[in-house]
Amino acid sequence: MSVQSAAIILADGTVFEGESFGAAPTTGITTGEFVFNTVLSGYQEVISDPSYAGQIITFTAPHIGNYGVNSTDNESEKPQCEGIVVREMSRRASNWRAESDLVSYLELHGIAGIGGIDTRRLTRHLRDNGALPGAFGTASESALREAALAATGTEGTDLVARVTTPHAYSVAATSSASRTIVALDLGIKTTILRNLSQYGSIEVVPASTSAEQILSLSPDGVFISNGPGDPAAVADVPDTLRELLGKVPLFGICMGHQMLATALGGTTYKLPFGHHGGNHPVRDLTTNKVEITSQNHNYCVDVDSLAHVEVTHRNLNDSTVEGFECAELSAFAVQHHPEAGPGPHDSRYLFERFAELMDRSAS
């Protein structure tokens, strides 16, 4: 693994020194919004999650890359994040499932990385000051500083348009279930499709698909996927969902949760440093059970803006809204990721809940 001296400079002027790895941008500079993720494993799934478009991922786990990568664990065809930051990149990949090493994977997909960073210090800085735009790379300090000042965050940017599928496609059911599910792709993860396919065949459609086009597919239910960026900047999807409400059961996850809330008249706001990790406690208020959940979002639904819905889940770290239901319109959503691959499986019952809702609506 060839490395060069490199540095991170955040928009507030804070500097971290390290070494480059992965792809080498021609300018020697990578920009984006710096966030941190607290998972202990699953770095490939994190990096390939389309919800990280526009962001640079700081891994809080000190040793990344030790078990390599494989084609099965990709959450999308290619990573959409801007880059990654680690304390130490493993120089060997040792696992029976490994098909390649992480550095080669990053090089293949054009993703830059920086290692040797005091990620504890960087994480504390982001925790105290919020997610920050910035730059990293092998360019001169003055060039990096200029790029950091010019870098933008995710606010006001429609990143869904960047990651959604350009064409509709089908996913076959993996069981005998005869349901038809339309999945509105805002940046959908492969693991979500694996879970949904247990309950029927899936027609995955672009984010720009109209309600009329969706209903023409005769769905038993419509799923609204996860995705990146500022939900307030995604203009058309809430309008589409308003036309679908009451006509077909709806289930949203993460960005889908925010889009469904917006369609119901709610608003969203940006969290200081977001929720990114596989260890967030959430209480299901309908059962009073506490679930350990996987999360990846920078924005949150304002509970005071939601009317005529029942809040069903709460984050136990900061009491933010993690789920809601509008029973009269056969719609519900959660902010966390019940598919959680890899990660906790505590919330996978939500897919079964969606199947039951579709069956009740069909009867």
Instruction: Identify the structural domains of the chain with CATH numbers, from first to last.
Output: 5-150 (3.50.30.20), 160-362 (3.40.50.880)
SS3 333: strand
Give the number of other CB atoms < 10 A from CB of residue 146: 15
What percentage of residues in the chain have a pLDDT greater than 70? 99
Greatest CA separation for the chain: 66
Q: Is 82 marked active-site?
A: no
Element (H, E) at 64: strand 63-64
pLDDT digits (tens, 9 = 90+) for 234-260: 989 999 999 999 999 999 999 999 999
Predicted pLDDT at 340: 86
Q: Is 345 marked active-site?
A: no
What percentage of residues in the chain have a pLDDT greater than 90? 95
Selected catalytic residue, list 125, 203, 254, 336: 254
> How many Cα atoms are found within 13 Å in the side-chain-facing hemisphere of 113?
29
Q: Are 266 and 238 in contact (CB under 8 A)?
A: no
Predicted pLDDT at 290: 97
Is the pLDDT confidence value at 2 over 80? Answer: no
Burial class (CB in 10 A: 0-12, 13-18, 19+), 171: middle
Is the pLDDT confidence value at 199 over 70? Answer: yes
Measured CA distances, 295 to 53, 188, 241 (Å): 15, 14, 23
CA distance 105 to 70: 9
Q: Which residues does residue 113 pair with via DSSP β-bridges, in sequence order? A: 21, 84
Render 86-97 in DSSP notation, one character per residue.
-SEE-S----TT
Q: Is 280 marked active-site?
A: no
